[in-house]
Amino acid sequence: MDMEQNEIIISISKNFDEKFGSKPLVIRSPGRVNIIGEHTDYNDGFVLPAAIDKAIYVAIGKRDDNNILLYSKEFNEAHKVKITELKKCEKQWANYILGVTAQILKRGIAIPGFNIVLDGDVPVGAGLSSSAAIECATGFALNELFQLQISKEDIVKMAQKAEHEYAGVMVGIMDMFASVFGKKDHVLKLDCRSLQHEYVPLKLEGIKIVLLNTNVKHSLASSEYNTRRKQCEEGVELIKKHHPEVNSLRDVTMQMLHQYVAPKDEIIFKRCKYVVEENIRLLSGCEDLRNGDIKSLGKKMFQSHDGLSKEYEVSCKELDFLVDYVRDFPAVLGSRMMGGGFGGCTINLVKEEAIEDLITEITAAYKQKMNLDLTAYVAKTEDGTSVVS
C-alpha cells in the first residue's frame, strides 16, 4: 500500500470519528482493469481483469438504532434512511450502498443500523468500476461488522444484484469479481459461466499498463449496455431453435452464426460475431501472457478494440482517437477501449521508457482534436478487497 492510500485511511478514520464519535472498521476494495475480454462476461465467456492500486474505502461502525447514515467525502453529501424503509434515492453513490444492504435483507438476514463514510481515489465514470468497488466494499464491511459469514463469492453476487436492482444496469460479474478476488502482480482468468478462476502472473518486463481517460461518459452507456445484452440473447435464441443445447454465446461457433444468424439479422450477427471472436482472442491472449509474448497479446488488444468499435459499436470518437493515435507507436504494444464503452479509459501496454513522452504528446493531440483534457494513470495491480484498519 502506498503513501497516498495510507493518507486516505487516516483521513477517512478521522472523518468518521468526528462525525460519529467512534473508531470505524475500514475496508478497501479496488477498481479494476481488464486486459482483454470485453462484453464477454454476461455471455458466459471469459474475462482477464486485475485489481488495481486505485480503490474505494468504506469506514463503517454500528449504531444502536435502525438508521443508516451515509456520508460521501467526494460529493460532500449525506443520506439517512431507516433500515425498515430502505429504498432507492436520487444519490447514485448512496444507491450502491443501499443496494447491497437490500440484498442482505433479502436473504432474510436482520441487521441493525450502521454509519458509513465513503472515500476513495477511483475516478468516477472512467470505466475503472468505482461502483462495483463501492458495492464490494459495502458487502465486505457489513459482513465483517455483523459477522454474517457470507462467502466472498456471495458478496460478489450480491454486489452484482445491487447494481441490477438499484442502478438499473444489467452488468455481468467481472467488475465485482475482480475487485474482491484480485491479486497483486496477477491477472484473473475468470470463466464467467462456472466462476472458476485462475491467477495468471502478469510479467510485463519493462512494459506498463497506462490508462488514458477520455474524461467523457456519454449518456448512451447504460441504455446501450442493456440493449447489447438483449441483442446477444436474441442471437442465442435464433441458434437455439436448431441447437437446443446452446444456452449462451459461449456455446456458439462462427459456423452457427453464419448459418442461423447472418441470414436473419445483420446487426445481431455483428454483435454475436464480436463476442465469439473475443473469447477466442482472450484464450490465446492468455497463452501469450504465459509465454511472455506481449507483442502478440498487444495485437489482440487492437483487434479487440476494432471489434468493439465496428461490430459491437460501443466505442466513441474520443476512444477511437486515442487508440488510433497510438497504433503505429513502436513503444505501444497494445491499446483498446476498456469496460462498458461510450467513454472512460483506453488500456495501453507501453514500454516504460516511452511513457512520459507518449503522455505529453497524446495529451496535446487530444486537446487539439477534441478540446478535452486527457488524464493518464500508470496502473499497478493490487490485492482484492480487505480490511485495512
Please list the active-site residues: 175
Stretch that binds ligand GLA, among 166-174, 182-190, 199-207, 269-277 (CB under 6 A): 166-174
Give the DSSP letter string of 205-254: SSEEEEEEEEEEE-THHHHHHHHHHHHHHHHHHHHHTT-TT--SGGG--H
Rounded (10°) angle between helices 294-306 and 266-291: 170
Between 229 and 351, CB nearer to ligand GLA: 229
Between 131 and 143, CB nearer to ligand GLA: 131
Per-residue CA distances from 134 to 73, 127, 137, 272 (Å): 13, 14, 5, 31
Residue 6 host element (H or E) = helix 3-20
Note whether 134 binds ligand GLA by CB under 6 A.
Answer: no
Least CB distance from residue 62 to ligand GLA, whole Å? 31
Least CB distance from residue 9 to ligand GLA, whole Å? 26
Between 5 and 40, CB nearer to ligand GLA: 40
Residue among 175, 278, 288, 318 that touches ligand GLA (CB under 6 A): 175
Note whether 337 binds ligand GLA by CB under 6 A.
Answer: no
Least CB distance from residue 321 to ligand GLA, whole Å? 20
Cβ burial of 198 (10 Å; 0-12, 13-18, 19+) is exposed
Least CB distance from residue 129 to ligand GLA, whole Å? 6
Note whether 135 binds ligand GLA by CB under 6 A.
Answer: no
C-alpha–C-alpha distance, residues 217 and 177, integer Å? 23
Question: Which of 79, 246, 42, 257 lies closest to 164 in space, CA to CA?
Answer: 42
Note whether 224 binds ligand GLA by CB under 6 A.
Answer: no
Between 31 and 298, CB nearer to ligand GLA: 31
Between 174 and 202, CB nearer to ligand GLA: 174
- Give the Cβ contact number of residue 84 at 10 Å: 9
- Give the Cβ contact number of residue 185 at 10 Å: 14
Stretch that binds ligand GLA, among 77-85, 172-180, 288-296, 376-384 (CB under 6 A): 172-180
Note whether 24 binds ligand GLA by CB under 6 A.
Answer: no
Note whether 171 binds ligand GLA by CB under 6 A.
Answer: yes
Note whether 269 binds ligand GLA by CB under 6 A.
Answer: no
Size of the site for ligand GLA (CB under 6 A): 11
Note whether 39 binds ligand GLA by CB under 6 A.
Answer: yes
Stretch that binds ligand GLA, among 34-42, 205-213, 245-253, 277-285 (CB under 6 A): 34-42
C-alpha–C-alpha distance, residues 257 and 105, integer Å? 43
Per-residue CA distances from 106 to 84, 100, 159, 173 (Å): 12, 10, 13, 19
R_g over Cα of the chain: 21
Note whether 54 binds ligand GLA by CB under 6 A.
Answer: no
Residue among 12, 16, 38, 150 that touches ligand GLA (CB under 6 A): 38
Residue among 45, 120, 172, 235 that touches ligand GLA (CB under 6 A): 172
- CB within 8 Å of 3: residues ≥ 6 apart: none
Note whether 136 binds ligand GLA by CB under 6 A.
Answer: no
Between 53 and 175, CB nearer to ligand GLA: 175
C-alpha–C-alpha distance, residues 182 and 179, integer Å? 6
C-alpha–C-alpha distance, residues 33 and 336, integer Å? 12
Each residue of 305-324: b (16+ CB within 10 Å) or e?
bbbbbebbbbbbebbbbbbe
Stretch that binds ligand GLA, among 16-24, 33-41, 80-88, 98-106 (CB under 6 A): 33-41
Q: Which residues are at the interface with ligand GLA (CB under 6 A)?
A: 38-39, 41-42, 129, 171-172, 174-175, 339-340
